[in-house]
């Protein structure tokens, strides 16, 4: 039997209900259902190809969903219903009747009918309305409904208002609209027009975000949709306009994406759930009347407490030596763990020899970020509400209580408060007095390369869990292919992260520095700092003379600054608000390097224009002396970036 729906205008007992189309997830139907249930979804849309490929009968699928606590909210898609050929339309009605049989066994009462893309699609709106009404009458006899959706590439119906015109003219009780955010917004549709649609005529809602691209809309839809909060569409505005009609059905995701189709479905489902949690909060903040209950607001993050590096017996001494040359002092040793505290001004680095990471021996990697929260406890509650559970942690009886969550790449994010009774009290003084330092005053930003599959997921994590806002995605023409990069920042820029990933999966030929990471420290005078670092023997990265020659041609820089660029390997970049002087070290522990940054004026970037030069210099630094040049019989195959 179809599920019992609340009376028109009545709210379900638990709303909002969150749904996901099985097309969003990879794997078999069994994999998809398990992932959706584990992530906390209330219901699913059954994508017909998933059912066809399943060994379960429709009735068995219904039982499995019930066992998992999942409702089946929509059966989709039914394509090319209308036709100018009477025989073909009759055949399509017979096909619909068979699908109604399937729906009865599934226990779902709504089918998605897409606007036709076939050559024989009906152009006359009155004829289209008549055919939709005929199909809806047959559905009504079964206790079923048809949700009509305008595909953005439909032959004659490609906009939501054209679909509404047909539905309105049909005037059939069992015929309504499916409003899909991608199909509406990709065509530049105005959701404010939904106000003309009675709420009882909005049968279903499908949500998807997307980057703003200039390309064929079908290819855009099939390959580049994203979950809400990951793209450029105004999803809160779209959802608000739908809910203003009185719609109170499922908030359901339908996302076609090449990455999601090959990623772990359990992980993708959590990402999807987090996107709905973010969307509901975003709408609740601007429209309290929508009836959505936001989670606790993200407490203010006022800066960096520390950056923790996982090291071993090989990389630990190497990084420690480099930190000494950079002006840091080993000031503390953890009471119960093999963790060292290194400090210079407000910049703190932890070297942790107990973290088990999957990297190779001798690797140093960022394993944790400590962020200053105005309310660490509430930060943890917020994270839990955004599907980021607090990690279990062992601590000594006198040690600080610290909560941490795992970012998509495995980096732990700690919510801290630095003070006499805070986390620094866990470290016993080494008795070594702080040195004069090299002018580093704190952490400017941390740069983390993301696995190919989690670039968009990571941005949404930091946005939803921590309240950091993603900036525009840019692409760098790096020596080994395009690299996508995106910053996530707090409103006052006290916390800055940059996330990068290769635009395509790499084969055997790739950069020697796999998944590079960077800690960028602030300074008020990078030239003076560079002189101190060079005098201390810091492993500064050498740049080619061509770089300085190009700077001289592009910018009218003072002679003394150009001399410092050539002597110390400084890099220079300008934007509309200011400029940046920065330098980089060589790679430490196989994937980590340090940058020193001086921001001038209102500069808000990250030196991305210079990144290809720096990447090439790191490649040269890492190349073994005996490596055979590219193009000869043997090609070096070690990963790089």
| Tens of pLDDT, residues 567-608 | 999 999 999 999 999 999 999 988 899 999 999 999 999 999
State yes or no: pLDDT of 514 exceeds 80.
no
Model confidence pLDDT, tens digit, residues 185-226: 999 999 999 999 999 999 999 999 998 888 888 888 888 899
Parallel, antiparallel or unpaired: strands 469-470 and 481-489? antiparallel
Model confidence pLDDT, tens digit, residues 615-641: 999 888 876 554 444 443 332 323 333
The burial of 545, by beta-carbon neighbours within 10 Å (0-12 exposed, 13-18 middle, 19 or more buried), is given as exposed
pLDDT value for 151? 96
Lowest mean pLDDT among 16-20, 469-473, 474-478, 534-538: 474-478
pLDDT value for 512? 60
CA–CA separation, 16 and 292 (whole Å):
7
pLDDT band at 293 (very low <50, low <70, confident <90, very high): confident
CA–CA separation, 460 and 386 (whole Å):
10
pLDDT band at 12 (very low <50, low <70, confident <90, very high): very low
DSSP letters, 35-84, are: HHHHHT-SEEEEEHHHHHT-SS-HHHHHHHHHHHT-EEEEEEEE-----S
Angle at which helices 265-286 and 29-39 pack, to 10 degrees? 40
pLDDT value for 619? 85
Higher local confidence (pLDDT), 15 or 226: 226
State yes or no: pLDDT of 152 exceeds 90.
yes
CA–CA separation, 298 and 457 (whole Å):
18
pLDDT value for 348? 97
State yes or no: pLDDT of 365 exceeds 50.
yes
pLDDT band at 4 (very low <50, low <70, confident <90, very high): very low
Model confidence pLDDT, tens digit, residues 153-191: 999 999 999 999 999 999 999 999 999 999 999 999 999
pLDDT value for 132? 98
DSSP letters, 214-271, are: -S-HHHHHHHH-B-TTSSSS-HHHHHHHHHTTT--S-EEE---BTTGGGS-HHHHHHH
- Among positive and negative, which fits the CA dihedral 461, 463, 466, 469? positive
State yes or no: pLDDT of 6 exceeds 60.
no
Percent of the chain residues topping a pLDDT of 90: 78
Instruction: Decide if 18-290 and 301-622 have a common fold.
Output: no
pLDDT value for 223? 82
State yes or no: pLDDT of 227 exceeds 70.
yes
Q: Which long-range contacts (CB under 8 A, 24 or more apart) does 473-480 make?
A: 473/211, 474/608, 475/503, 476/608, 476/611, 476/612, 477/612, 478/511, 478/611, 478/612, 478/615, 478/641, 479/511, 479/612, 479/615, 479/616, 479/619, 480/506, 480/509, 480/510, 480/511, 480/615, 480/640, 480/641
State yes or no: pLDDT of 479 exceeds 90.
no
Model confidence pLDDT, tens digit, residues 391-440: 998 777 778 889 999 999 999 999 998 877 789 999 999 999 888 999 99
Sorted by sequence, the CB contacts under 8 Å of residue 193 that are 6+ apart come out as 160, 161
Parallel, antiparallel or unpaired: strands 474-478 and 329-334? unpaired
pLDDT value for 357? 59
| Cα 440 from chain centre | 31
| Cα 115 from chain centre | 31
CA–CA separation, 16 and 381 (whole Å):
20
Across the chain, mean pLDDT equals 90
Give the mean model confidence (pLDDT) for residues 373-401: 90
Contact 417, 376 (CB under 8 A): yes
State yes or no: pLDDT of 8 exceeds 70.
no
CA–CA separation, 498 and 476 (whole Å):
13
pLDDT band at 60 (very low <50, low <70, confident <90, very high): very high
Q: Where along the chain do its domains lie? A: 18-290, 301-622
Please check whether the domain covering 18-290 is classified as CATH 3.20.20.150: yes
CA–CA separation, 347 and 221 (whole Å):
45
Pull the structure tokens for residue 308.
């923790």
CATH pick for 301-622 out of 3.10.180.10, 1.20.120.1690, 3.20.20.70, 3.30.310.160: 3.10.180.10
Strand locations in 430-577 (E)? 440-449, 469-470, 474-478, 481-489, 496-502, 517-523, 571-574
| Cα 589 from chain centre | 28
Pull the structure tokens for residue 263.
């990623």
pLDDT value for 523? 97
Pull the structure tokens for residue 227.
């979950």
pLDDT value for 270? 97
Contact 19, 41 (CB under 8 A): yes
Higher local confidence (pLDDT), 288 or 328: 328
């Amino acid at each position: 039997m179809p599920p019992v729906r609340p009376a028109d205008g009545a709210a379900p007992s638990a709303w909002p209900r969150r749904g996901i189309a099985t097309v969003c997830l990879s794997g078999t139907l069994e994999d998809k259902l398990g992932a959706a249930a584990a992530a906390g979804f209330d219901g699913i849309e059954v994508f017909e190809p998933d059912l066809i490929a399943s060994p379960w009968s429709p009735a068995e699928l219904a039982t499995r969903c019930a066992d998992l606590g999942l409702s089946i909210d929509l059966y989709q898609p039914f394509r090319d219903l209308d036709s100018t050929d009477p025989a073909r339309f009759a055949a399509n009605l017979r096909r619909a009747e068979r699908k109604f049989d399937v729906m009865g066994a599934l226990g779902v009462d709504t089918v998605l009918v897409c606007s036709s893309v076939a050559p024989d699609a009906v152009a006359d709106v009155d004829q289209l309305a008549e055919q939709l009404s005929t199909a809806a009458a047959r559905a009504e006899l079964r206790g079923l409904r048809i949700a009509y959706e305008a595909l953005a590439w439909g032959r004659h119906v490609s906009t939501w208002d054209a679909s509404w015109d047909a539905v309105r003219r049909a005037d059939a009780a069992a015929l309504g609209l499916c409003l899909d955010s991608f199909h509406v917004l990709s065509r530049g549709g105005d959701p404010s027009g939904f106000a003309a649609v009675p709420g009882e005529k909005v049968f279903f809602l499908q949500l998807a975000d997307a980057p703003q691209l200039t390309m064929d809309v079908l290819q855009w839809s099939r390959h580049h949709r994203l979950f809400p909060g990951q793209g450029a569409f105004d999803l809160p505005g779209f959802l608000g306009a739908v809910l203003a009609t009185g719609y109170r059905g499922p908030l359901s995701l339908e996302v076609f994406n090449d990455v999601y189709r090959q990623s772990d479905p359990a992980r993708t489902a959590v990402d999807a759930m987090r996107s709905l949690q973010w969307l509901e909060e975003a709408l609740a903040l601007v429209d309290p009347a929508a009836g959505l209950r936001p989670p606790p607001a993200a407490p203010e993050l006022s800066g960096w407490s520390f950056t923790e590096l996982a090291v071993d017996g090989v990389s630990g001494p190497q990084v420690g030596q480099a930190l000494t040359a950079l002006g840091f002092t080993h000031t503390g040793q953890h009471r119960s763990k093999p963790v060292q505290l290194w400090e210079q001004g407000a910049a703190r680095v932890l070297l942790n020899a107990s973290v088990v990471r999957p990297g190779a021996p001798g690797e140093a990697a960022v394993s944790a970020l400590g962020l200053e929260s105005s309310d660490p406890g509430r930060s943890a509650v917020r994270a839990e509400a955004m599907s980021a559970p607090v990690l279990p942690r062992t601590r000594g009886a006198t040690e600080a209580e610290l909560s941490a969550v795992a970012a998509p790449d495995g980096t732990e994010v700690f919510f801290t408060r630095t003070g006499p009774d805070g986390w620094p009290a866990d470290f016993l003084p080494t008795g070594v007095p702080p040195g004069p330092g090299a002018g580093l005053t704190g952490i400017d930003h941390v740069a983390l390369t993301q696995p190919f599959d989690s670039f968009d997921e990571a941005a949404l994590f930091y946005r939803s869990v921590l309240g950091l806002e993603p900036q525009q995605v840019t692409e760098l023409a790096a020596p080994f292919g395009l690299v996508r990069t995106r910053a996530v920042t707090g409103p006052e820029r006290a916390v800055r992260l940059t996330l990068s990933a290769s635009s395509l999966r790499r084969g055997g030929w790739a950069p020697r520095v796999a998944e590079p990471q960077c800690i960028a420290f602030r300074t008020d005078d990078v030239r003076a700092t560079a002189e101190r670092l060079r005098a201390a023997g810091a492993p500064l990265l050498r740049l080619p003379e061509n770089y300085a020659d190009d700077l001289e041609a592009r910018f009218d820089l003072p002679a003394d600054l150009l001399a410092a660029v050539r002597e110390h390997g400084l890099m220079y970049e300008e934007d509309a608000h200011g400029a940046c002087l920065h330098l980089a070290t060589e790679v430490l522990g196989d994937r980590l390097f340090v940058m020193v940054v001086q921001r001038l004026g209102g500069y808000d970037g990250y030196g991305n224009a210079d990144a290809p030069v720096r990447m090439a210099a790191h490649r040269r630094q890492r190349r073994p002396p005996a490596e055979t040049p590219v193009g000869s019989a043997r090609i070096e195959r070690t990963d790089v970036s």
